Structure 1
């Protein structure tokens, strides 16, 4: 024992500090290794979502000088959809926003299709042959620079979407995941979402089915930007939140966030 102590004391102090620091780093690094999951014959969409509801996320980059005309056009499209009895109210606008922080001159619209892809097929058949709708789409084409459409499923562990009043600010955090990691993402976030329920900030959580694949979108709702700051700081003080973050970070290839404000005609404010 005495010889062991002599050997330890013979180690220079700076090397002892490195050893201690390395041990601490190893403890942290051990958290961020990707957890292994068992192979499965079930698709991740079936395992992570239990609703026969498809969401369409439209992203439009409108011309900087055409915002007002563009929003009027979208409002007219929303009115046309709501007037179609043949859709049986199974196609609904959930939220419509313009981006304040992030991609400028951009709007995001979230549509809900009750009845899955069968309802989307029905919607496409109707709009492809309707002259009024086609005129609205042609007008839209003159007002935008680019557009993208994704079909999404809602994560089953997220709270149900509840429309908000009065006016709030929203944040959409979008993640491009490594292929094959969606189930693991869901396993970790099924726990992580529990740390973000106290302030009723969780608005919606989706993963892509068609469009850019292995994409995840989390939409959060806050009273204002300062409330966002306070709520996120509160989550980091919750034991276990840091571990959830550590396990999900290695699954991400790319991520970005945008702060959005609702349009006047958005059902959720």
Structure 2
């Protein structure tokens, strides 16, 4: 009965994820259109960016609710490919990676080719024609760097707490684990509850990092940043799915899936 219930929760979590990934595709289309028509239309861009940020907040809330019913699935999702799962931090991407993407977009000549690939909206339009991320001011970069340092500290704190939870489980007497002592189940329940709290904290940090980035940059820069991030995420998901298929069907859950902060 418990196994059946866990399976049902996993399916709800996978459905939530697929709905989110479908929304990513729509966001990309909306961002492309808005950037191509961005002249004298900052209000439209600002509204779209705000909607996308709020959509992520809603998704994070759904994840948090579902994780309270079964948290473990989010740390090695069956709907991801193995390569994607190997890159997860607390059930998702590191918030600091959002800022590293900004550095790529406004950085060195060596990164220009990647930026152009990520931001290409169609064959006849180059979103870099107006500068955008490359035009970040010294003040903006200073705020982004300050945010980066704060986010890394918070990531480290969450990671340390997670490690402490793992050590608590490892400290359980082997005999209790083998014999199936009731205390073991209680300890594992406590561990999963703690990890669910950490997942919610990590998602909150992802959301807050995204929100603060959007506050620092202009609407056009925010749209460029979001477009690059979503294209990168979908590209990694697709490449992971293909690699899993080539490796003989390992990660079939991801192979059947049609990928998010």
Shorter-normalised TM range: under 0.3
Structure with a larger share of its residues in strand: 1
Structure having the higher Rg: 1
Relative contact order higher in (CA < 8 Å, ≥ 6 apart): 2
TM-score, normalisation: structure 1: 0.22
TM-score, normalisation: structure 2: 0.23
Structure with a larger share of its residues in helix: 2
